[in-house]
Amino acid sequence: MSSRMFVALCLAPLLIVAAAFFVLPLARLVVVGASGPDGAAAYLAILTEPRYRESLVATVILAVATTVATLITATIVGLFVQRHDFPGRSVLVALLTFPLALPGVVVGFMIILLAGRQGLIGEVARALTGQRLVFAYAAGGLFLGYLYFSIPRVILTIMASVEKLDPQVEEAARALGAGAWAVHRDVILPALVPAFIASGAICFATAMGAFGTAFTLATRTDVLPMVIYTEFTLNANFAMAAALSVGLGIVTWAALAVSRSAAGTSVAAAG
Amino acid sequence: MTANGKGVSLRLENCAKTYPGGIQVLSPMTLEIARGETVVLLGPSGCGKTTTLRIIAGLIQPDHGGRVLFDGVDVTSVPIEKRNVGMVFQSYALFPNMTVAGNIGYGLKIRHVPKAERRKRVDAMMQLVGIDTLHDRRVDQLSGGQRQRVALARAVACQPRVLLLDEPLTALDASLRDRLRTDLNQLFRSLGITTIYVTHDQGEAMALGDRIVVMTKGTIAQVGTPDEIYFRPANRFVAEFIGAANILEGPLQSEVMLLPGGQLHIDGGRTGDTAVAMVRPEAIGIVSPDGASWTGRIQTKIFLGDRLRLTVAEAATSAIVVDASNRLVVQVGDRVGLTVPNGSVRLLTS
Amino acid sequence: MIAARLPVALQAAFTVLVTAFLIVPAVMSMLAGVTVQYSRGLSSGLTLEWVVEVWTLYSDTILRSVLIALATLGCTLTIGVPAAYGLQVTGGRIARVIEEIITLPLAIPGLAIALGMIITYGGVGSFRQSSLFILAGHVVFTMPFMIRSVMAVLGVIDLDTLDESAASLGASRWQRFIDVVVPNAIPGILAGSLTVVTLSLGEFNLTWMLHTPLTKTLPVGLADSYASMRLEIASAYTLIFFVLLVPLLAAMQFAARNRATRGRQ
Ligand SMILES: Nc1ncnc2c1ncn2[C@@H]1O[C@H](COP(=O)(O)OP(=O)(O)OP(=O)(O)O)[C@@H](O)[C@H]1O
Ligand SMILES: [Mg+2]
C-alpha cells in the first residue's frame, strides 16, 4: 500500500462522518432558513423584526457583560493562584476548574440553589435584612449562571499564560524602579493581552450560544437560543428557527475568527 | 552472530534529485561501491549528502532515469521497508515507547524472529556495541553516547544489506566523538557490511572511509582513498576543503613555477600561462635563505605544541602557511628559505 | 510592608470568594440529595431515599448516557486517532482546512447543529428514533477534542524520523502506525478520551433537541427533574451525575499533572 493511500485511508472515516453529520446538516440548515414565506429575507429578520432584534441585543449585552466580568475575575484569581505557593494549592485549582465539566442545565440548578426560592443567598439576606432576595429567574440569575461556567475556563487560560511569563522582564522593570502596580500595568497585563483576546472570545461565543442555563432558569429575559428553541418547538416555525440559528452561528464563529487573527494563535475552545 | 559478509555491492546510476519547485539539488551521479566497503560521503552543508543517502535508503526516489542497484538488482522502486537497509539517524530516532532491548529487537520482531532467538541476537548486539547492562532501560534515561550505540545496534541487528549512517556523531561532544570514531572503525571492520557514512567532518571521513566521496553543490568532486584525496586532490575545491592547503598561482616555465619569492619546481609542469598548484603546510621545509631558490619573510608564529605554525609573506601572491618543527627557532620578521620535496606540489585543474 | 501585603490579602480573599461561589452550590446540591427535607436543613436527617427514587425513575437515562459516552469514545478513538495521524503527516493547507472544518462544531452553538441534523435526518424515522442519532451528534461535537489532543502530542515528537526509522527496520505502514505512532501518542489519546467521555456525559445543548421520549440521557433527565420534581430529587439526581463525573475529572487532573512534570524533566 502506498503511503498516500494509507494516509487517505486514515482520513476517510473522519471526512465521511464530518460530511454526513456536520457539513450536510449545516448546509441544509442554511437552505431551510431561506425556505420560509419571506425567503432569504428571513436572514434579515434577526435585525429587522423587533422581537428578534431585542433578543439579539439582550443576548449580546449579556455575553459582553459576562466576558468582561469573567476576564476581571479570572485575572485576579489566576494571577494569585499561579504566583503563590500555599498548602492545598492544587486542591484549590481543582475546585476552581471543577465546574468546567458541568452542562448548562446543571449550572442553572446551581444558580437556583444559590439565588432561587429556597436559595442560600435568599436565606442569608433574610437573616440580615428580613427580606428574602430571589433573583435566580431574572437577568441577574442568568448573568450569575454565565459567570459560573465561564470563570473556570478563563482561569485555566490565564494561569497557563502567567506561567509562561518571563520573570526576568518583571525583574528588569523592578530594577528600573517600577513598583508592584506599575509592573502589573506595564509588564504583566500587556503580556496577558493575547490570553485575554483568546479566552474572551471563547467566553463570548459560549455565552451567546448557551442554552441549558437559560432553559433551566426559564428566565423572563429571552436570550437568542431560547427564542430559536421556542420558534422550533412551540411555533413549529422551522425556517425561522433555522435562519436565526444560522445568524447566531455566524456571530459566534466570527467572534472566534476575529480573536484568532487578532491573537495570531489558534486556541482551543474548551468544552 | 554478526552480519559478516552480508553486505551487497551497490551502484547508483544517473541518480539526480529535483525537489518540487524545480531546484535540482543533486546532479545525475553514478557511483559504484564494492561489497563490504565503507564509503564516506563528505562535503559542506547542503551539498546533497543526506539526499544521496536517502535515495540509497529508499526514503526518496531519484528523478526519472536514475537507478539504484543492490548486487546488480534494480531496487529503485522497492520501498525502504522492503530494502533491508540499516539506518542510523542523526537524532538517533529511538522509539521512546520501547526499552533499549525493544528498540534493538524491533526489526527482528517485524521479521517474525522467534522470541528466544530474538533475545539471543539482541544480547549479542548489545555486547557488540558495549551496552550489555542497559537491557531494560528506557531510552530517555540514556546518555548521548549510549543512545548512539543503541541506534547502531538496532540498525545492524537484522543483518542489513547496507548500513547507512547520517552524521551519527554530530550530536555528541568532541571527546566522545573521538572515542566513538575509533569504536565505529573497529565495528565496521568486524561487521564487514557495506557501509555508507555521511559526515561533514573530514577527520571522521579520513578515519573511517575505505574511500571518500567528496561532494559539492550536488555533484561529486572526487572519489578516492583518504590519502589520494589528501595528497592528490583532483581540483581546487577538494584541495581547500580537505586539510589546510596553500594554493599557489603563477606562470609556468617547463617544470618551474615563477613566484614573487623565487621559483618552485613542479613535477610534470608544462610551459603555459598561469597555473594553479597546491602544497600542504607540513610539506614545506624552512632552511637558511642563503642560496635558497624560494624565500619569504615570517609574518606570524603560533606555537601549537606538536608543531609551530608559521605564516610566510612575500613568498607567493598571498601569505602561505607552513607547519614547522616545534623546536625550530625563528623570529617574526626573519627572512627564510623554503624547500618542498619532489612530488609534494600538485598541479590543480583550476 | 503592610501596604505591600494588603493587595495580596485582598486577592486571596477574592479568590476564596470565587471558589465559594463555584463550590458551595455544588456541595449544597449534594447534601440536599441526601437530606430528608431540604427546607428544614440537615437537622431533618440524612437519607438515601431520594437517591433510590431517582434510580427507579431515571436509571434508564443514566445507563443510556454511560453507553452513549462509551460508544462516543469508541467512535472518536477509531476515527479520530488515525485521522489525527493523517492530518499530522499530510500537513500544509489541506490539513489546515480539514482541521478548521472539524473544529467548527466548537464555534457553532449546539442548537444550530442539532437543528441541522433534525432537518436533514428527521425523516429517517428509525435513525431519528434511536440513540444512534444522539451518538452521531456527540461524535461530531467531541471529535475535535480527541483529534487536537492527539495532534498536540504527535506535534512534539519527531514523528517523521521515528516513522522513517521504523520503515528502515522493515515495518510496513500499518505496523508503524501500531508500533510507533499509537504508543507514542498515548498521553494525547488518554487526555482526549477523558475529555470526550466527560463532554458526552454532560452534553445537553445538542441532546435536548435530538432526544425522543425513548432516548433520554442523563442531562435531559436532569432538566426534566429540575422542572418537575421536588428539590431533593433533583439534587439526588445531580449527586449521581457528580459521582460519575468526579473520577473522570480527577483522572484528567492527574494526567495533566503527570504530563507537566514529565515535560519539565
Ligand atoms: N524536502 C526538500 N525540499 C526541497 N529542498 C530540499 C529538501 N530537502 C533538502 N533540500 C535541499 O537540498 C539540498 C541538499 O540537502 P541535503 O540534506 O542532502 O544536504 P546535506 O549535504 O545533507 O547537508 P547537511 O550537511 O547540512 O545535512 C539543500 O540545499 C536542501 O536545502
Ligand atoms: Mg544532511
> pLDDT per residue over A35-51, tens digit each?
878 788 888 888 888 98
CB contact under 8 A, C79 and A17: yes
**Predicted local distance difference test score (pLDDT) of residue C262:** 59
On the question of pLDDT at C252 being above 90, the answer is no
Average pLDDT over residues C149-157: 90
Q: In terms of CA atoms, which chain C residue is nearest residue A100?
A: C249
* Greatest mean pLDDT among A19-23, A138-142, C3-7, C92-96: A19-23
Q: Is the CB of B55 under 6 A from ligand 1?
A: no
Q: For a pocket test of ligand 1, which of B17, B18, B45, B51 has the largest count of ligand atoms closer than 8 A to its C-beta?
A: B51
On the question of pLDDT at C264 being above 50, the answer is no
User: At a CB cut-off of 8 Å and minimum separation 6, what does C102 contact?
Assistant: A14, A18, A22, C143, C144, C147
User: Over pLDDT 90: what percentage of chain A?
Assistant: 34
User: Over pLDDT 70: what percentage of chain B?
Assistant: 98
**CATH architecture label of B244-347:** Beta Barrel (2.40)
The domains found in chain A, sorted by start residue, are 1-33 (no CATH), 41-270 (1.10.3720.10)
**Predicted local distance difference test score (pLDDT) of residue B4:** 44
Q: Using CB atoms, which chains have 3+ pairs under 8 A with B?
A: C
Residue B195: all three cell numbers together: 557501509
CB contact under 8 A, B87 and C165: yes
Cβ B285 vs Cβ B338: under 8 Å = yes
Residue A159: all three cell numbers together: 494561569
pLDDT per residue over C158-216, tens digit each?
A: 888 999 999 999 999 899 999 999 999 999 999 999 999 999 999 998 999 999 989 99
Q: Is the CB of B181 under 6 A from ligand 1?
A: no
CB contact under 8 A, B80 and C167: yes
CA gap B145, A45 in Å, rounded: 71
C154: phi then psi, degrees, rounded to nearest 5: -60, -30
**Predicted local distance difference test score (pLDDT) of residue A266:** 41
Q: Is the CB of B200 under 6 A from ligand 1?
A: yes
pTM recorded for the entire structure: 0.81
CA gap B49, B165 in Å, rounded: 11
Least confident of A181-185, A239-243, B256-260, C258-262: C258-262
Please report the atom of ligand 1 found closest to the CA of residue B198.
22
**Predicted local distance difference test score (pLDDT) of residue B2:** 38
CA gap B322, A164 in Å, rounded: 55
**pLDDT band at residue A63, thresholds of 50, 70 and 90?**
very high
User: Least CB-CB distance to A1: which of C173, C234, C248?
Assistant: C173
Cα of B41 from ligand 1 centre, angstroms:
14
CB contact under 8 A, A105 and C8: no
Query: Which residues of chain B approach chain C closer than 8 Å at the C-beta?
Result: 57, 59, 79-82, 84-87, 89, 91, 93, 95-98, 106-107, 110-111, 140, 154-155, 158, 164
CA gap A147, A65 in Å, rounded: 9
Please report the atom of ligand 1 found closest to the CA of residue B218.
14
**Predicted local distance difference test score (pLDDT) of residue A268:** 37
**pLDDT band at residue C241, thresholds of 50, 70 and 90?**
very high
Is 0.90 exceeded by the ipTM? Answer: no
Least confident of B34-48, B89-103, B269-283, C66-80: B269-283
User: Least CB-CB distance to C170: which of B81, B89, B95?
Assistant: B81
Q: How far is CA C45 from CA B188, C41, C49, in A?
A: 82, 8, 11
Average pLDDT over residues A55-84: 93
Q: For a pocket test of ligand 1, which of B18, B29, B40, B47 has the largest count of ligand atoms closer than 8 A to its C-beta?
A: B47
- Give the gap in angstroms from C-alpha C171 to the nearest C-alpha of chain B: 6
On the question of pLDDT at B283 being above 80, the answer is yes
**Predicted local distance difference test score (pLDDT) of residue C6:** 62
User: Mapped to the 3 state alphabet, what secondary structure does chain B carry?
Assistant: CCCCCCCCCEEEEEEEEEECCCEEEEEEEEEEECCCCEEEEECCCCCCHHHHHHHHHCCCCCCCCCEEEECCEECCCCCHHHHCEEEECCCCCCCCCCEHHHHHHHHHHHCCCCHHHHHHHHHHHHHHHCCCCCCCCEHHHCCHHHHHHHHHHHHHCCCCCEEEEECCCCCCCHHHHHHHHHHHHHHHHHHCCEEEEEECCHHHHHHHCCEEEEEECCEEEEEECHHHHHHCCCCHHHHHHCCCCEEEEEEEECCEEEECCEEEECCCCCCEEEEEEEECHHHCEEECCCCCCEEEEEEEEEECCCCEEEEEECCCCCCEEEEECCCCCCCCCCEEEEECCCCCCEEECC
On the question of pLDDT at C246 being above 60, the answer is yes
- Give the gap in angstroms from C-alpha C181 to the nearest C-alpha of chain B: 9
Sheet hosting strand B308-313, strand order edge to edge: B285-287, B335-339, B295-303, B308-313, B320-324
**pLDDT band at residue C104, thresholds of 50, 70 and 90?**
confident
**Predicted local distance difference test score (pLDDT) of residue C2:** 44
Among the bound ligands, the one closest to the CA of B215: 1
On the question of pLDDT at A79 being above 70, the answer is yes
On the question of pLDDT at A267 being above 60, the answer is no
- Ligand 2 (ion): which residues have CB within 5 A? B 50
- How far, in whole angstroms, is CA B6 from its chain's centroid? 23
Taking the domain B10-239, which CATH number applies? Answer: 3.40.50.300
Please report the atom of ligand 1 found closest to the CA of residue B44.
25
On the question of pLDDT at A126 being above 90, the answer is no
Query: Which residue's CA lies nearest to atom 31 of ligand 1?
Result: B46
**CATH architecture label of C67-264:** Orthogonal Bundle (1.10)
**Predicted local distance difference test score (pLDDT) of residue A187:** 83
**pLDDT band at residue B279, thresholds of 50, 70 and 90?**
very high
- Kindly list the domain boundaries of chain B, sorted by start residue: 10-239, 244-347
**Predicted local distance difference test score (pLDDT) of residue A271:** 30
B319: phi then psi, degrees, rounded to nearest 5: -60, 145
**Predicted local distance difference test score (pLDDT) of residue A262:** 77
Q: Is the CB of B19 under 6 A from ligand 1?
A: yes
**Predicted local distance difference test score (pLDDT) of residue B205:** 92
Same fold, B10-239 and B244-347: no
pLDDT per residue over A92-107, tens digit each?
A: 998 998 888 899 999 9
pLDDT per residue over B177-230, tens digit each?
A: 888 888 888 888 888 899 999 998 888 999 999 999 999 999 999 999 999 999
Cβ contacts of B86 on chain C, cutoff 8 Å: 168
pLDDT per residue over B146-175, tens digit each?
A: 998 999 999 999 889 999 999 988 878 888
**Predicted local distance difference test score (pLDDT) of residue B350:** 54
Q: Is the CB of B148 under 6 A from ligand 1?
A: no
Q: Is the CB of B48 under 6 A from ligand 1?
A: yes
Least confident of A11-15, B259-263, B271-275: B271-275
**Predicted local distance difference test score (pLDDT) of residue B3:** 40
Helix (H, G, I), strand (E, B) or coil at C46: strand
Mutate which: A6, A9, A10, vs C, most C CBs within 10 A: A10
CB contact under 8 A, A211 and C32: no
Query: Which residue's CA lies nearest to atom 20 of ligand 1?
Result: B46
Average pLDDT of chain A, as a whole number: 86
Average pLDDT of chain B, as a whole number: 89
Cell 538517533 belongs to B92
Reported as type and span, the H/E element at residue C28 is: helix C2-33
Cα of B25 from ligand 1 centre, angstroms:
7
- Kindly list the domain boundaries of chain C, sorted by start residue: 67-264
Reference B14, options B58, B60, B66; nearest CA is: B66
Average pLDDT over residues B233-261: 88
Q: Is the CB of B342 under 6 A from ligand 1?
A: no
pLDDT per residue over B299-334, tens digit each?
A: 999 999 889 999 999 888 889 999 999 888 888 999
Cβ contacts of B96 on chain C, cutoff 8 Å: 157, 184
